[in-house]
Amino acid sequence: MTRLRIDLEQVLDTYLQYFGALPPTSPRIREHPEEWVRFHSFPALQRYPDDDADRQQLLHRHSRVIRTLRRQFGGGRLVGLAVSVTPWWGEDENGQPKRIHHRPTVLPGLRHMFDTFDHPYSDDGDVYGEVYATDQLTAAALRRHLLRQTRTLLPGIAVIDETARWVYAPYDGGADVLLTSSRDRDLLRRQHAAWLSPLRSGL
């Protein structure tokens, strides 16, 4: 049975309506504290798994939060997002300056969707981001990516679903989540309160 493709143009149009041209990365998501919450993969500010039990806990927490997001705030199929930093400059066949797109390779089937006109990770005004999306994100591919937290999770991917009402951005220690309202944020916080940061900053 052939799997129906997701209309990525429509999904990302909805994303832009809710979040604007926000780079879906942890540093930028945290700039919206009324709708942001962070969950940790481990207690006591542990950042990386030490053994197989830790790795299973890491996957369990990521999976539980994503299931909650899909069940209560969305319900559509998963869409993977990735960010590339630009501009990279090269030359065309006539020796003229040409901007080179560096398509991320962290997920299969990524397509360029929009430019953010904002650096995804810092306040460098000379560099901005390009957001790519794929409808080929499988649970197995996401699991493999999350297991890279065994050492360090390189930044650059996020997960949404077809409703684009939430953004899930994993990092090497947990995940930052952005919702469309403080009410939804508070509801999600209450359901996974044991996994919140003990710090007042929420980090």
For residue range 91-113, list pLDDT tens digits in order. Answer: 778 888 777 777 888 888 999 99
- Partnered with residue 16 across adjacent β-strands are none
**Using an 8 Å Cβ cutoff, are 41 and 61 in contact?**
yes
The residue among 132 and 147 whose pLDDT is bigger is: 132
For residue range 12-37, list pLDDT tens digits in order. Answer: 999 999 999 999 999 999 999 999 99
Place of tokens 């508070």: 186
Across 59-94, b (16+ Cβ under 10 Å) vs e yields bebbeebbebbbeebbeebbbbbbbbbbeeeeeeee
For residue range 153-203, list pLDDT tens digits in order. Answer: 555 789 999 999 999 999 888 999 999 999 999 999 999 999 999 888 888
Q: Give domain limits for the chain.
A: 26-195
Phi, psi angle pair for 151, to nearest 5°: -120, -75
Percentage of residues in the chain with pLDDT exceeding 90? 49
Nearest to 62 by CA among 166, 178, 147: 147
CB neighbourhood size of 30 (10 A): 17
